[in-house]
Amino acid sequence: GENVEQHPSTLSVQEGDSAVIKCTYSDSASNYFPWYKQELGKGPQLIIDIRSNVGEKKDQRIAVTLNKTAKHFSLHITETQPEDSAVYFCAVQSGFQKLVFGTGTRLLVSP
């Protein structure tokens, strides 16, 4: 089955810096790659996603890049703010309805 690795497990940055989180996957047939943000005591929130027919997608301060050849994709957050502090999960669609999640990255943005 699909195997998703996510790095780093924790990331501390200063407000205004950029943050990058990387994920690798194993199944070359996978074609949908969402990112979720989970704040304490809440459910995961879909923040951005990308499909295999594009290499990059941007939404304001958040961007995702995909390298299908290397089987890795990354989340980029620019101009980080304290409210960006949360746990971020990457995921890969495995089969029609199944998402396999990465292990999560705890992002801490210090003022």
Partner 1 sequence: DTEVTQTPKHLVMGMTNKKSLKCEQHMGHRAMYWYKQKAKKPPELMFVYSYEKLSINESVPSRFSPECPNSSLLNLHLHALQPEDSALYLCASSPGQGSHNEQFFGPGTRLTVL
Distance between CA atoms of residues 46 and 2, nearest Å: 20
Distance between CA atoms of residues 73 and 106, nearest Å: 18
Q: Which stretch binds partner 1 (CB under 8 A): 22-30, 59-67, 78-86, 98-106?
A: 98-106
Distance between CA atoms of residues 87 and 67, nearest Å: 23
Distance between CA atoms of residues 54 and 56, nearest Å: 6
Residue (12 or 31) nearer to partner 1, CB: 31
Q: Is 42 in the site for partner 1 (CB under 8 A)?
A: yes
Amino acid letter for position 76: H
Task: Specify burial of residue 25 (Cβ count, 10 A radius: 0-12, 13-18, 19+).
Answer: buried
Residue (46 or 54) nearer to partner 1, CB: 46
Q: Is 31 in the site for partner 1 (CB under 8 A)?
A: yes
Q: How far is the CB of 92 from partner 1 (least distance, A)?
A: 11
Site mask for partner 1 (CB under 8 A), range 49-88, x = bound: x-x-------------------------------------
Residues forming contacts to partner 1 in the complex (CB under 8 A) are 31-32, 34, 36, 41-46, 49, 51, 89, 93, 96-99, 101-104
